[in-house]
């Protein structure tokens, strides 16, 4: 497990918000933690995979899609806030995310 400091948490949050603002063509100021990616932003599940690929490269993570899929089956990430939390936990735990209860 790796320590994720407040500065990194804010950077993760900013990256998630910027990503969805850009991909969904929405002003970043309109995005909130409570927004549902599919219902409110008209996004899709593939966006989450694309976003997580950005974090895999940025933080040199080795988490594989099978592991992530197992976690998401138990704990879906549907809102922006949930995606920020999921991403933070992936940066913190890597492949061990499957054993983490969020």
Q: Judge whether 102 lies within some domain.
A: no
Query: Is residue 89 classed exposed, middle or buried when 0-12, 13-18 and 19+ CB atoms within 10 A define those classes?
Result: buried
pTM of the shown model: 0.89
Domain region containing 77: 6-97
The total number of structural domains that make up the chain:
1
Is 13 inside any structural domain? yes
Average pLDDT over residues 20-41: 97
Over residues 57-83, the pLDDT tens digits come to: 898 888 877 777 777 888 889 999 999
Query: Which DSSP letter does residue 75 get?
Result: S
Query: Residue 98's pLDDT band (boundaries 50, 70, 90)?
Result: low
Given a cut of 60, whether residue 102 has pLDDT beyond it is: no
User: In the predicted model, what is the mean pLDDT of the chain?
Assistant: 89
CA distance 15 to 8: 10
């Amino acid at each position: 497990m790796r320590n994720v400091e407040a500065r990194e948490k804010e950077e993760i949050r900013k990256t998630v918000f910027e990503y969805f603002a850009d991909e969904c063509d929405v002003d970043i100021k309109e995005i909130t933690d409570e927004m549902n990616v599919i219902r409110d932003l008209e996004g899709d599940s593939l966006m989450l995979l694309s976003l997580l690929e950005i974090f895999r490269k940025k933080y040199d993570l080795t988490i594989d899609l099978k592991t992530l899929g197992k976690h998401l089956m138990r704990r879906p990430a549907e809102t922006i806030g949930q995606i920020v939390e999921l991403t933070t936990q992936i940066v913190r735990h890597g492949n061990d995310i499957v054993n983490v209860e969020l």
